[in-house]
Amino acid sequence: MADRIIAVADIVSALVGTRSYKEAFPKERVLEVLADQRDRGLIDGSCVAVMVRDYDEVMAVVQRACLPVAALHERVQQEYRWLLDQLARHEAEPLTEPAAPVG
């Protein structure tokens, strides 16, 4: 049963996530895709039924669980932008004296 649950969760994750090649799907579209996959016999109907019933609660739990990771990601992005700015400033400065040998 775990593999069936993971199959549904993987589909939902792929659909609700923003990717470089697509925007996140809204709830209605996610549920349509799950229903289509279920109707074609590709995923477990009982797992889909639970996801349909508990979609909002599942997504709220996922969002809360992701908050620390999202905050860390934002911090890394800020530091990256700062480093790029420092590099651009360094490259724009004329070299006034030869660099000291290292070592």
Q: Residues 45-94: pLDDT tens digits? A: 999 999 999 999 999 999 999 899 989 999 999 999 999 999 999 888 77
pTM above 0.85, yes or no: no
7 and 44 in contact (C-beta within 8 Å)?
A: yes
Dist CA 57 CA 10 (whole Å) = 17
d(CA 28, CA 54): 13
Ordered alpha helix ranges (H), 1-103: 2-16, 27-39, 45-92
Predicted local confidence at residue 93, as pLDDT: 79
Secondary structure (3-state) at 19: strand
Every domain of the chain and the residues it spans: 2-92
As a whole number of angstroms, the distance between CA 61 and CA 55 comes to 10
